[in-house]
Amino acid sequence: MFVLRWLRRLFKTILWLIVPVVLIPIVGLAYGFLTIPALDKAPLPGIADGAPPAELAVKVRQAIPGYRSPRSWLAYPKWAAVHAARDYAAFVDEDQPSGFPYLSYIGRYWQDYAAIIRASSVHGFNTADYVMPTLTGIGLTIDYALQWAYENTVGRITEATAGKRIAADIYQAKVAGDYAAFLDKTPWYEFPYAEKRAGLFAVEPATGDDSLRTSERKLAFGLADTVKQWCADLGRSALATADDPGPPDIHVWAKGPVGEAARNEPDTLLERDLGGDGTIFVTGRSQAFTGTIPRLIDEGISFVEIGGNDEIMITVTSDAEITAPDGSRILFSQPIPVSPDTRRTALTVAVRKLHFVLPALAKAGARLEHVYADD
């Protein structure tokens, strides 16, 4: 009887843990779909302009392994978490973490993810493609909900007793910046949480620092780092397998003085000269790719395909609403929660119009944030 009662209690405990986790994406996506406008699913104007000869395109796909990459929209949810980490790091570099709009970022993630699902489903729906974005959303929701609850209760109490930012606050702000920069190139589960925890415990209070706030920060963030390190260790192999990043490089088919323009670009190699039909080169994915594109355009380069695709997703930030230039379409555009005077706008862009679209956006005052190349 004792064993049976114990098993029942264990089963109930597991249910109490599993049910909320399962409900997070259901509630999150329901909120997202109900609060975003419908998307225009018509073919993107200008997408067929300048298309390469069909026979040549087929030949290129057959001759170059890994030339074709999945469409880029589903790269966005991962980067949405990176953008949130950057915003958090910038905020706590000057302010207390209790003031960060955690709940707004949770809602914004699921809104943007819903928009991405609508956009990407036009080209077919593969359930496996949505596993990692959903897990990312669950993790962000749990993390930010717990931080919001803690920082607006215990955190606010010790913040009031301290009366100022203390050495532990400053250290944690630096860790937040390190984490945001780390995510540009490396998955979250590779971050050295245990090492940062040791550094936090080694922080010496500055003159006038409140001892209660110091102890509370070390206890709270030390515990958080312990849990995150445990999760990272537990999930490293599984997540690395599930979140198959594909090849580390991407193939770009371009026209113009490609050889000369690409010579000074890091991690960029010419792969195939197609004569009058252009040149194919290989370059690294990640944030560095975003900086490469505008530099090549400035050198007179236009693009035929990126990752074997004729459309790509980008995000820009701006101080006002923008209008989509010809050859592009807005997927979503919303104020950034931590900085409401700045907007983040996601656009689908015809690759062969990219050399027109990016300069037009820049002229309108938009700043290129990221080019999503399935990274």
Predicted pLDDT at 173: 96
The residue among 238, 9, 242 whose CA lies nearest residue 131 is: 242
Query: Residue written as tokens 């880029």?
Result: 72
Contacts of 105 (CB under 8 A, 6+ apart): 84, 87, 140, 144, 337
Residue 52 half-sphere exposure toward CB, CA atoms < 13 A: 26
Residue 158 carries which side chain, given as an amino acid letter? T
Identify the pLDDT of residue 70.
Answer: 73
- Positions of E strands within the chain: 249-255, 268-273, 279-284, 302-306, 311-318, 328-336, 339-350, 367-372
Classified as helix, coil or strand, 322 is: coil
H/E stretch holding 149 reads: helix 131-151
The pTM of this model reads: 0.86
Please answer whether residues 313 and 351 qualify as being in contact, where contact means their C-beta atoms are separated by less than 8 angstroms. Answer: no
User: Which pLDDT tens digit goes with each residue over 57-115?
Assistant: 899 888 888 888 876 788 888 889 999 999 999 999 999 999 999 999 999 999 999 99
Q: What is the pLDDT of residue 298?
A: 92
Contact present, 273 and 254 (Cβ < 8 Å): no
DSSP three-state, residue 151: helix
Residue 132's pLDDT is 85
Handedness of CA 247, 235, 143, 91 (dihedral sign): negative
Distance of alpha carbon 99 from the chain centroid? 22
Dihedral over Cα of 252, 257, 260, 261: its sign:
negative
Residues 306, 62: Cα–Cα separation, whole Å: 16
- Enumerate residues 6+ apart whose C-beta is below 8 A from 82: 180, 183, 184
CB 306 within 8 A of CB 255: no
Cα 236 to Cα 33, 298, 308, distances in angstroms: 31, 40, 30
Q: Which portions of the chain are predicted below pLDDT 50?
A: 243
**Nearest 5°: phi and psi at 16?**
-65, -25
What is the rounded distance in angstroms from the CA atom of residue 255 to the CA atom of residue 273?
A: 10
77: buried, middle or exposed (CB in 10 Å: 19+, 13-18, 0-12)? buried
- Confidence at residue 37, expressed as pLDDT on a 0 to 100 scale: 87
Residue keyed to tokens 């359930």: 127
Q: Longest Cα pair distance anywhere in the chain, in angstroms? A: 81
> Residue 103's closest CA among 28, 186, 41, 53?
28
Q: Residue 154: what pLDDT?
A: 96
Q: What are phi and psi of 45, to 5 degrees?
A: -60, 135
